[in-house]
Structure 1
Amino acid sequence: MLDPTPFPLDHLAARGESDDPALILKDKTLSFADLQERIALLAGWLAQKVGNGERVASWAVKGELTCLMPLAAARAGVVHVPINPLLKRAQVAHIVADSGAAMLVGTKARLKTLEPDDYGENCEVVEESAAWDQAATGDGITASSTRDPEDLVAILYTSGSTGQPKGVMLSHANLWLGAVSVAHYLRMAADDVTLAVLPLSFDYGQNQLLSTWYAGGCVTPLDYLFPRDVAKACAKHSVTTLAAVPPLWVQLTEMDWPEDAVSSLRRFTNSGGALTTHMVRDLRALAPHADVYPMYGLTEAFRSTYLDPSLVDTHPTSMGTAIPFAEILVINDADEVAAPGEEGELVHCGPLVAQGYWQDPARTSERFKPAPEQSKYGGTAVWSGDRVKRDNEGLLYFVGRRDAMIKSSGNRISPQELEDAAVSTGLVSEAVALGVADDRLGHAIHLVVRGDPGAGDAAADRMRKELAKALPNFMQPHVVHWRDTLPTNANGKLDRSALGKEIRGIAARGDDQ
C-alpha cells in the first residue's frame, strides 16, 4: 500500500537489504550497509564544518560525493545546493552568492576556474578529494535523523523565462514523497538497476537516485561522452531503468543496440519535453518488452503527471494523469475548473509543491499562490503558466506555454540570461533569444542581435567565441542573426512576437543563416 507518511530524507539509505548493491561507481560498488557508513562519515564532516541550516554547494561530475551529498546533507542538518557540472564561472558565482553558501565542494579542475571574488570570504572552497580525506578522519553521524519533514533540505536552481536562475526550496517531505510516488507508479523493485545519465542537479536527475533507493534498488551513475556509452553501460550492468530527455532518445534510437544491452530493460521514462509518435515507435522497436513512461513536471512541484504505458500507443500525445500525491486542476480564465475539452492553466496542488524561491518573495508570489477553492488539499499551489486541456477520459493534453522559456536538449534556458550575455560582449546593442521548434533538440536556440551596420559574419563569429567563454555548451546559440535594426512595437519596445514569427518562418524555409 502506498504510504503517504514523509520521513527525513536520509532514511532512504536504509531502504535496501544491507548486503544488496546500492551504488555502482567506476572503481567500486557500495552496498546499502556501505552507503550508510559513507553517508555517516560525510554527514559528520558537514556538521563539523558548517552550522545547522547553512547551505553547502557541490560542483562536480557524478561520483560518490554528488550521489551521497543529498542524504548526507539531510542527516547533517544542512541544505544541499547541487550545481550542474556543465555550468561555467558566471553561473556558478551567481548560485553560490544567491544561496549564501557557506561551503563549495567541487573537483579541482572546476574550482580552478573561479576567482576569490566569485565565492567571497564567507564561503570555504574544498576540493572533492580533500573532503573525503577529512571526512575519513572524523566522527560520523551513524543514527538516521529525526528532523521535521518540512525542514528545508535542498535548493535546486532552475532558469526562469527572465533573469538569473532562481533557487527552488525543497523539504525532506518534498523529496521523500517524490521518491515514493515515482517508485510506485514505475513499479520499481529491489532488483532494479537504474542508469543515472541525467544531471543530479535537476529534480528529474536527482530522483533517479531517490526513487531507486526507496525501492531498495541499485543506481549506476554515468557521465557519457557518446550515446554508445549508454548502451555499453546498459549491457555491462544489466540496466532495467533508463531515464532521458527527447534529444537523447533521438540519438539512442538511431544506434544499433546489441541484444545484451536491451534484454534487461524494463522501462524507459521521459521528461524535459514531449515524446513524439516517432520516438515512441522507435523506442518500441528498440525494446518491445519495455514499458514507456511519458511524464510532465516542473521543478516547483517536481512531477505532475505521467501516462500509463498501456495508453501510450492509443494516446501518444497525452500528458496522462496526476502522479500519486499530486492533485492536478485545470483552471480556466474565469477561475473555474475547466470543462472537458476547455483550455485552462495547469495548477498543481498537494504535498509535492515546493516551499517557494529562495530569498525571492516577489517571484514566489507570482508562481506560488493559494490553491483554488476546488482543491481537496488547499494550502499553496503551483500555478504552472502552462495551458492544457483534459479530455472526457480524464487525460491531459499540453496546449502551450505562457512564457518564452527555451527548452533545448532537456535544459530550461532563460532568454534574458542569454541576451544579457550577448550584450555584455560589447559587440551588440540589443539581443533577442528565441526557441525554434526542432525535432532533435526540442528547441534550437536562435539569437537575433543588433550591432554595427555591415559588421556581419566576422562580428558574429567574435561574439560566438565570447559566449563560449561565458556560457555552458547547452546555452550556445545554434544560429546567430545579425541585424542593423530590430522591430519595435507601438510602445517602443522590442517586438518579440513579430521577430519570433519572422525567425520561425526563416527556419521553416531552411534559410536560417
Structure 2
Amino acid sequence: MPFIAARQLTTIPAQFEQTLSAVPDKAAVFGGGESLTFRQLHAEAAAAAQALAQFGIRPGDRVGICMQKNLDQVVAILGVLWANAIFVPIHPVFQAGQIGHMVDDCDMKLLITDSTRIAELRDAAHGRIAVGHGPAEEEIASLKELRRKCQGNQPFFRSKADDTAAIIYSSGSTGKPKGIVISQRNLADGARIVASYLGTTATDRIASVLPLTSDYSLNQLWQILFTGSSLYLHDFIFPRDLFRLLASERITALPVMPVIITHMFDPQLVGPEDDLDFSALRYVSTTGGPVTATMLGHLRRTFPKSDIVLMYGLTEAFRSSWLPPDQLSARPTSIGKAIPEVELYVMDDQGQDCAPGVPGQLVHRGGCVAKGYWNAPEATAERFRQIDRFPGETVVFSGDLVRRDQEDYLYFLGRMDSMMKTHGFRVSPTEIEEYARRFDRLCDAVAFGIDNPEIGQEIAVAYTTTDRTPLASDALADHFRIGMPHHMVPRWFVHMEAFPATGNGAKVDRVLARRLSLEKIAALLSIGKAS
C-alpha cells in the first residue's frame, strides 16, 4: 500500500476497509486452533457493534475489555470501535479492586470479560457486565450470543480522526494508574509509521505474544488491519511452545519485551529443539526497557539471520524512537533516533536544546501524541504542553532524562524523578544498572537510592542472575570500584530470584522491587544489631 495515499486513512476502520477490499479472503487472525479472514473479522466486528448498541452503548461510552487473548477478544475490541464507543483494555491479571478503580475513573458503561470472572468482577463493574468469551451466565448477557443474532448488519462507524478511540491506563507501578486518552488518528498513524520502518507487508506473519492491553501489543493488531498481514495469537507460558510456533507457522515478526526475552531463555525451562527452522523470522523487536548483552547474545545465537530492532516509547506518544538493526553492534545501549513523522529534542529546564553529551528531558513532537490524561487536567498540563517554539502544537514532555551523541543517537539515562543524589552528585539509576550488567552471571539490575542524611543517598542495587543464585557482594563492589568513581559504588547489593512485573506483566515493577529489597536490607541490619 503506498504510504503517501495511506496518510489519508486516519481511522482504524478506514484502514481496515481498504485492506478488506484488497484481500477479503486472506486469513487475518489465528487463535485457539481457529482463524478469521478479513471478511469474517469485519462481519463479526459489525455484529458486535450492533450487539453493543442493544446493550445500550452509545457513541463516546467507555467499554472495558478484560479478557484472555483469543479471537473473541479481538472481535470485542473492534466491535467497540465500530460502535463509535471508547474501548478500555484491561490486563486479565488485574484484580477486582484495580479494575474497579478504572470503572469508576472513566465512568465505564460496560465491562466485557470471560465467563470465569463474572462473579468476581460483577460488583466492581456495578453490575454493568457482559460475557465476552465462554459459556453464558444466568442473567448475564453474552456478547458472543448477541453477535450471532446480529450477523449481516452493516457497520455504522462514523467517528472522525480526532475522536477518542481508547483509554489506556498506565501500568500503575507508582500510585493509581492514569488513563491516557488515545484518538483514532493516534492508532492509525501508529500503524502506518511502524509498518513503514519495520517494512510490514501482507506477507508478514506476526506473533502476538503480549496481552492485547498495551499500545505496543495493540499496534500489532492495527498493523495487520492496515497492511493485510496475519496475526498469530499465542499465550506465552512455556518457551518451547513459542519456539515451536515460530518454526511451524513460519513467523516473520516477533515483537517482545525484555522480560519476555528473559523468560524465553530461562535456563530452568526447556528451550528450542535443535531441528527447528527459524529462517522465516525477519526481525525481533523489543521495547519497554533495556536489552542486556546477555539477552542480545541469546537472540543472536537463536535467530542468527533475524534483525533485532530496539525501540523506545511512552504511551503518551506511543512510539518515539527506534535503533536501525545495522547500528546495534556499534550502539547497543542506544534507544536510536526519531521514528518517521516525529521529531525528538533534548531540552534543559529553560526549554533550550542540550549540547551532545549533556543530559536533558526528552521532548516528543509530531505523530502519535495522545490527547492527554482522562479527567486529570493538571497532570495533562504538566506533560502535554504548547510552547512558543512550536506555536499551535502540543508536544509531550516525557519526564525521561536522555542524552544524545555527536551523531544524534539518543541514550536513556532514567526517569527525572528517580535520579539519585549522593556525595553532592546526581547519579542516574540507568548508568548504575548498565554497569552492573557487565558482571559475569548478572542478568538484570534495578538501582535506587536509600536516604542517608550524611551523604544524601546510599546507592542500592537489586539484581537477578542467570542461574538464580546470589553473587558475592564484595566481588560486585570491586567490579564497581574498578570502573566507576567512588560516589557511584553501591553500598548495598540485594539478590532476587526474579523481579516482580507490573500489572501489564511486561515491565519490571521497580517500585515493588525496591520495597522488597528494602525489606531484605532491613532484615540484614536487624540481624547485625542482634549480634
Give the deviation of 1:235 after TM superposition.
2.0
- Whether 1:303 and 2:319 are equivalent positions in the alignment is yes
Q: Structure 1 residues 382, 439: CA separation in 2 closer, same or farther (over 3 Å shift)? A: farther
Rounded Cα–Cα distance in structure 2 between residues aligned with 1:209 and 1:94:
27
Deviations 1:145-170 (A, max 9, x none): 34210000111111356421111110
Equivalent residue, structure 2, for 1:490: none
- Of 303, 328, 335, 1:319 maps to 335
Report the AA paired with residue 54 of structure 1. Answer: D
Q: Structure 1 residues 136, 361: CA separation in 2 closer, same or farther (over 3 Å shift)? A: same
Matches within 5 A, 1:418-429: none
- Secondary structure of the 1:384 match is strand
- Of 118, 122, 126, 1:120 maps to 126
- Whether 1:22 and 2:28 are equivalent positions in the alignment is yes
Give the deviation of 1:182 after TM superposition.
0.7
Deviations 1:371-415 (A, max 9, x none): x4444x8511111110111111111111111234999xxxxx9x9
- Of 115, 132, 138, 2:144 maps to 132
Rounded Cα–Cα distance in structure 1 between residues aligned with 2:403 and 2:165:
34
- Secondary structure of the 2:182 match is strand
Identity of aligned residues (%): 33
Q: Is the 8 A contact 2:28 2:231 kept in 1?
A: yes
Moved more, 473-482 or 85-94: 473-482
- Whether 1:8 and 2:27 are equivalent positions in the alignment is no
Equivalent residue, structure 1, for 2:54: 48
Q: Structure 1 residues 435, 79: CA separation in 2 closer, same or farther (over 3 Å shift)? A: farther
Q: Structure 1 residues 354, 277: CA separation in 2 closer, same or farther (over 3 Å shift)? A: same
Q: Structure 1 residues 503, 350: CA separation in 2 closer, same or farther (over 3 Å shift)? A: farther
Matches within 5 A, 1:256-335: 256-335=272-351
Give the deviation of 1:114 after TM superposition.
2.5
- Of 36, 51, 67, 2:74 maps to 67
Give the deviation of 1:323 after TM superposition.
1.0
Give the deviation of 1:214 after TM superposition.
1.5
Rounded Cα–Cα distance in structure 2 between residues aligned with 1:362 and 1:437:
36
Give the deviation of 1:286 after TM superposition.
1.2
Rounded Cα–Cα distance in structure 2 between residues aligned with 1:81 and 1:378:
29
Rounded Cα–Cα distance in structure 2 between residues aligned with 1:63 and 1:336:
48
Rounded Cα–Cα distance in structure 2 between residues aligned with 1:472 and 1:386:
20
Rounded Cα–Cα distance in structure 2 between residues aligned with 1:191 and 1:359:
42
Q: Structure 1 residues 175, 481: CA separation in 2 closer, same or farther (over 3 Å shift)? A: closer
Rounded Cα–Cα distance in structure 2 between residues aligned with 1:165 and 1:440:
32
TM-score, normalized by length of structure 2? 0.75
Equivalent residue, structure 2, for 1:249: 261
- Whether 1:240 and 2:252 are equivalent positions in the alignment is yes
Equivalent residue, structure 1, for 2:365: 349
Q: Is the 8 A contact 2:43 2:151 kept in 1?
A: no
Report the AA paired with residue 114 of structure 1. Answer: L
Rounded Cα–Cα distance in structure 2 between residues aligned with 1:439 and 1:274:
16
Matches within 5 A, 1:496-511: none
Q: Structure 1 residues 325, 359: CA separation in 2 closer, same or farther (over 3 Å shift)? A: same
Unpaired runs of 5+ residues, structure 1, are 408-412, 416-433, 442-467, 483-498, 508-513
Report the AA paired with residue 117 of structure 2. Answer: R
Q: Structure 1 residues 147, 115: CA separation in 2 closer, same or farther (over 3 Å shift)? A: closer
* Number of residue pairs aligned between Structure 1 and Structure 2: 434
Rounded Cα–Cα distance in structure 1 between residues aligned with 2:233 and 2:92:
14
Rounded Cα–Cα distance in structure 2 between residues aligned with 1:439 and 1:304:
31
- Secondary structure of the 1:262 match is coil
TM-score, normalized by length of structure 1? 0.77
Give the deviation of 1:246 after TM superposition.
0.9
Report the AA paired with residue 357 of structure 1. Answer: Y
Unpaired runs of 5+ residues, structure 2, are 135-141, 420-428, 431-445, 449-459, 468-499, 526-531
CA RMSD across the alignment: 3.2
Deviations 1:99-137 (A, max 9, x none): 211111111112222352x2225x244453421111110
Q: Structure 1 residues 436, 378: CA separation in 2 closer, same or farther (over 3 Å shift)? A: farther
Q: Structure 1 residues 369, 160: CA separation in 2 closer, same or farther (over 3 Å shift)? A: farther
Report the AA paired with residue 339 of structure 1. Answer: A
Rounded Cα–Cα distance in structure 2 between residues aligned with 1:239 and 1:350:
32
Rounded Cα–Cα distance in structure 2 between residues aligned with 1:141 and 1:245:
39
Matches within 5 A, 1:42-191: 42-49=48-55, 50-116=57-123, 118-121=124-127, 123-129=128-134, 130-138=142-150, 141-143=153-155, 145-160=157-172, 162-191=174-203
Moved more, 396-405 or 201-210: 396-405
Moved more, 300-309 or 8-17: 8-17
- Secondary structure of the 1:110 match is helix
Q: Is the 8 A contact 1:346 1:387 kept in 2?
A: yes
